[in-house]
Amino acid sequence: MDYQSVIDKIRDEVRELWGQGRVADYIPALAKVDPRQFGIAVATLDGHEYSTGDAQVCFSIQSISKVFTLAMVTRHVGDDIWDAVGREPSGNPFNSLVQLEYEQGKPRNPFINAGALVVTDRLISLYPHPKDAMLEFVRSLCGNDDIYYDKEIARSERLNADRNMSLAYLMKSFGNIRNDVDTLLDVYCHQCAISMSCVDLARAFLFLSNRGVNPFSGKQVLSVSQAKRLGALMLTCGFYDESGDFAFRAGLPGKSGVGGGIAAYIPGNLAVTVWSPELNRHGNSLAGMAALEHFTTDIGNSIF
């Protein structure tokens, strides 16, 4: 398969979508990003890499980081995490308080904000230095030690975290948050501010394509069962209340972030990431969603 020709073609096709979405502006630092950028990268399990456009430009991965923290927690606590967070699509905005109140402080899934806060809370309990541990984990997955937090975005996130603070305190009132809320928000805002390129993200997602084994180190990151279950959650819950549509259009397990990134993979084959900062009304990259639909159509391969 000539992946380079495929992604070059997609890069040219999605330009017509520029101007139809808008960058995330509820975090002021994200509002400064040039909206007319687009990158896509493919990493295959047989060691080949392909990229085009702005694939080497680092951006804030935002909610894509929830995949990494969930992997870090589940490999230590296993199924115990599901006592605190569910595994069903929410059908509501990713920062909804209403559903959380109705369901007595147990979030629907680990990829909405409330669920990710619970996972990060457990991460803090597991690691003495959780922010350092997150960077070390992500660096090991992509084989790049030059991965850092974007401090400006982390600070901007923290200064505008009122809704997340409300979610955390509500869950704490139900006994589902164990650590100090200010500490939790600091760690959570930093995880969202991890800065990576499409190339780095594609490499980092290869362990999911490889049945939980990091292809760069040969180490088992997750068990086969845990990797399978993480992929299932990404397929059903990875795109907020647009997850069903992404599964319908692209047919891949993946995770999006309001920084404009999307990371996805085909089991046993490859990982593919795309970045375009303009978002649709669901908070997913407008051009990114279209690009991955084109990608699986053009290569004639998905999980279905």
- The catalytic residue positions are 63, 66, 188, 240, 258
Residue 148: strand pairing partners? 195
Q: H or E segment at 141? A: helix 130-142
- Residue 240 to residue 58: CA distance in whole angstroms: 23
For the chain, how many residues are written?
Answer: 304
Q: How many helices (H) and strands (E) does the chain have?
A: 14, 8
Cα 149 to the center of its chain, rounded Å: 15
**The amino acid at 201:** L
Buried residues in 38-66 as b, exposed as e (16+ CB within 10 A) = bbbbbbbbeeeebbbbbbeebbbbbbbbb
Distance CA 264, CA 218 (A): 21
| Widest Cα–Cα separation across the chain | 54
- Which residue in this structure is represented by tokens 């990982």? 271
Its sign, for the CA torsion 243, 285, 67, 154, is negative
Residue type for position 118? V
Q: Among 237, 229, 279, which residue's Cα sits nearest to residue 254?
A: 237
